[in-house]
Amino acid sequence: EAQVTQNPRYLITVTGKKLTVTCSQNMNHEYMSWYRQDPGLGLRQIYYSMNVEVTDKGDVPEGYKVSRKEKRNFPLILESPSPNQTSLYFCASSFMGLDEQFFGPGTRLTVL
Amino acid sequence: ILNVEQSPQSLHVQEGDSTNFTCSFPSSNFYALHWYRWETAKSPEALFVMTLNGDEKKKGRISATLNTKEGYSYLYIKGSQPEDSATYLCAFRMDSSYKLIFGSGTRLLVRP
């Protein structure tokens, strides 16, 4: 089944404790992206990647890192999480980056 | 700062009613306009990707139109059903950019 998977689905952590949210897709898509969703603000793009080893900032990259060492994986790293990073996070992928995006199930992160 | 606006923010209709909502986006440097359907506790799913001025797309009872010169798109739902209850998101892509900018969505509730 074609899909985008994210892990973990739920995470409660404390300020400053490094964490990684994994994202993987099995559709051989070139493009992958991370979004955060906050009430009243819609989806905001954090980082995106057009291909292996090619990443670029979205609209809200501060406090996040990403890497794209393999085509299928695009982990989101929070080196020192803070409470304002409490949010619902979605990973998405698309074939060439200019067409419809397929979203993962979401990761709900709470930073205390 | 590029702005994508959706109206109304929320809409309550009776089963069988037809409804429509609006997405407004910058009219310059247009590349594509996406529509997604997001049900509670699920991931956003693509409805349409529209690229040409005057484009009309249809999927079952849902259709969309696009006016790139004036910077708006309409989404129509004919004969709304309770299963149409969801948040409908539009997203704008500028020419030569891989960023996708989302509106904050229109939340539709269809009462039986």
Q: pLDDT (tens digit, 9 = 90+) per residue, A84-105?
A: 999 999 999 999 878 899 999 9
pLDDT tens-digit readout, A11-68: 999 999 999 999 999 999 999 999 999 988 889 999 999 999 999 999 999 999 999 9
Residues ≥6 apart with Cβ < 8 Å to A112: A12, A13, A14, A15, A83
Residues ≥6 apart with Cβ < 8 Å to B42: A105
B75 residue type, one letter: L
> What's the pLDDT score for residue B1?
63
CB contacts of A35 in chain B (<8 Å) are 102
> What's the pLDDT score for residue B2?
73
Which secondary-structure segment (H or E) carries B110? Answer: strand B106-111
CB contact under 8 A, A42 and B102: yes
CB contact under 8 A, B104 and A40: yes
For residue B43, give the nearest of A31, A40, A103 by CB distance: A103
Q: Is the pLDDT of residue A82 over 70?
A: yes
SS3 of B41, please?
A: coil
Which two three-digit tokens encode residue A75?
């982990």
* Per-residue DSSP letter, B4: -
Helical spans, DSSP H, in chain A? none
